[in-house]
Amino acid sequence: MRHAVREDRDALVVTLEGDVDLENSPQAREVLLESVGRGRKVLVDLAGVTYIDSSGVASLVEALQAARKRGAGFALVCVGSAALRVLKLARLDKVFTIHETLADGLDART
């Protein structure tokens, strides 16, 4: 799994690429929590995610909860059909804020 973090307007964009699975989810968790800890709105770009499992979803949930505790925005963008299916199975598609594009996420107020 590869990751990148960059600033874009008032947000931090965390890009995850590859498989977010049991082997890689600790890395994803660390990146996501560190990004949330910086106090800005975090947009997680999942366009390049080829596979995500329950451990990857758990990393996203943990980061979302950390963001909510800080009162910071946290959203998923560019969620592919496979990742969306996993989120729907977990009934998390209505828990996360999901934007179709990065631009939508950047334009959103939270």
Partner 1 sequence: MGSARAARLLELRFPARADQLCDVRDAVRECVTANGAGAECAGDIVMAVDEACQNIIRHGYAGEPEGGIELEIDRRGDDLVFSLRDFAPKIDPACVKPRELDDVRPGGLGTHFIRAVMDEAEFVETATERGNLFRMVKRVR
- Residues contributing to the site for partner 1 (CB under 8 A): 19, 21-23, 51, 53-55, 57-59, 61-62, 65, 82, 85-86, 89-92, 95
Task: Tell me the closest approach of the beta carbon of residue 15 to partner 1, in angstroms.
Answer: 20
CA 1 to chain CA centroid, Å, is: 14
Which residues make beta-bridge pairs with 52?
20
Q: How far does the chain reach from its first CA to its final CA, in angstroms?
A: 27
Q: Which residue, 89 or 103, is less far from partner 1 as judged by CB?
A: 89
Residue 45's H or E segment, with its range, is: strand 41-52
DSSP class of residue 109 equals -
Least distance (Å) between residue 82 CB and partner 1: 6
In angstroms, give the least distance from the CB of 7 to partner 1.
26
Residue whose CB is less far from partner 1, 35 or 59: 59
